[in-house]
Amino acid sequence: MPTTDPLARRYRRLLRWYPRDWRRARAAEVMALLLDTAPPGRTRPTARETVDLVRGGLRCRLGRPASFSVVAWAALATVICGLFTGALASRAAWETSRPQPDRAEAGAILTEVFPGHDLGDIDVPPALFVVYGHALTLRTVKTVLIGDGGEYQESATGATAFGAPPVPAEQIIAVARQRLTDAGWRLYDPQVSAYTGCTDKLCATPLPITDTTLTARRGDTILNASISTQTAADASYLAVELHRAPPPAVVPAGVLGALLGAVAGFLLFGWASRRTEGRRVSGAATFLFGVTMVLWWLPVLLTAPSLVGHHLDEPHPAWHPLWEWLGQPTASLLFLVGAVCALLALGLAAEPRRDRSPVALVD
């Protein structure tokens, strides 16, 4: 009903938070109540009324008014959809990054930071993210999706020096730290680990070995260098990796993607919940949805705490990508099965229903 009353117009706009079917059946009586309770002269809904109608509309979109658990399920679906789409958007934003350092750039850095070391050939990766050292292609995507998703990682330009260190490891570390600082790199606390190695196959003479990892960042480039006190000719005493930090677009893209995905997840969940309410397919749809939530949330709950520990244990010039926090694509098979279950549940919800009133109170 068109109206020129600004208060009525604003109330009507707020009622758009409710699903269309519900509005069609109930908007007139709710409008009557809102206008009956509004004191004369009011032109705008109060903040309390606005919050109340938004909350009521969102709850109404979930259907199943007698169910308390539907709110918890909706929250789970909304958050996980937001996380996945946020991860997808942040991955897309990674494409704004410069490629990993090429030979010229890496060579200049290595010569500057590690002078006098024979680092051999510089290995330049074929893409920003690789699977077993190869760019992701239609052929390798199968590897990622079915079983080996953990091998999908950010690549790095690398170089290695073999044999016994020409100078004591402590000296290599001291020189590298000094040169990194002089060249404007931000240095992080070095990580030191000690273990016992062998000088021969029978390990008759145990040898204490110390590995030191240097981490530094300058601009969008991160350097990881591992310096070992080992002396075996076929093992490395210095291994250096250079890779890119996440480009600036990653965080805003991730946040925007997460928000859009959360909204879409909430609306889809609400639509399917209302469509299956009181129908024979409700049980099957609920079961499929439950399986999806378990398969999508399980990797998150298993991965995120261990990644928090990993972040606290070691210096990180940049956070791990969002998808790794969600256990993806390591658990991509679970994600895929969950996605199939979700699509089946949506398919059941989309089946034509014998039309009964969407609002139980309206005959």
**Which residues sit at the interface with other proteins, rule CB under 8 A?**
26, 28-37, 48-49, 52-57, 59-60, 64-66, 359-363
Kindly give, in sequence order, each residue whose CB lies less than 8 Å from that of residue 196, ignoring residues fewer than 6 positions away.
Answer: 206, 207, 208, 209
Cβ-Cβ contacts under 8 Å for 215 (sequence gap 6 or more): 187, 188, 190, 191, 222, 223, 224, 314, 315, 317
The secondary element (H helix, E strand) that includes residue 140 is helix 138-145
| Tokens matching residue 35 | 């206008």
Answer for the pair 197, 238: CB distance below 8 angstroms, yes or no: no
Cα dihedral value 171, 172, 178, 181, nearest 10: -150
User: Using CA atoms, how far apart are residues 26 and 49, in angstroms rounded to an integer?
Assistant: 17
Could you give the residue ranges of the DSSP H alpha helices within 199-245? none
CB of 48 to other proteins, least distance (A): 7
Quick one: 19 or 125, whose CB is closer to other proteins?
19
Q: Is 165 helix (H, G, I), strand (E, B) or coil?
A: coil
Q: Least distance from C-beta 21 to other proteins, angstroms?
A: 12
Min CB(10)–other proteins separation in Å: 13
Q: How far is the CB of 259 from other proteins (least distance, A)?
A: 23
CB of 286 to other proteins, least distance (A): 16
Angle between helices 250-276 and 282-313 in degrees, nearest 10: 160
- How is residue 141 written in tokens? 């995507």
Nearer to other proteins by Cβ, of 56 and 190: the residue is: 56
Which one, 61 or 91, has the nearer CB to other proteins? 61
- Of 36 and 313, the one with the shorter C-beta distance to other proteins is 36
**In this complex, which beta carbon is closest to other proteins, that of residue 17 or of residue 319?**
17
Kindly state the DSSP code that residue 273 receives in the 8-state scheme.
Answer: H
Q: Which residue, 52 or 351, has its beta carbon nearer to other proteins? A: 52
Rounded to a whole number of angstroms, the minimum distance from the CB of residue 34 to other proteins is 5
Tell me the C-alpha to C-alpha distance, in Å, between residue 141 and each of 130, 148, 177, 325, 332.
10, 10, 40, 20, 11
Residue 81 C-beta: closest distance to other proteins, Å: 24
Query: Smaller CB distance to other proteins: residue 21 or 220?
Result: 21
Least distance CB 61 / other proteins (angstroms): 11
CB neighbours of 74 closer than 8 A, spacing ≥ 6? 62, 266, 269, 270, 273
- In the complex with other proteins, the residue whose CB is nearer, 48 or 354, is 48
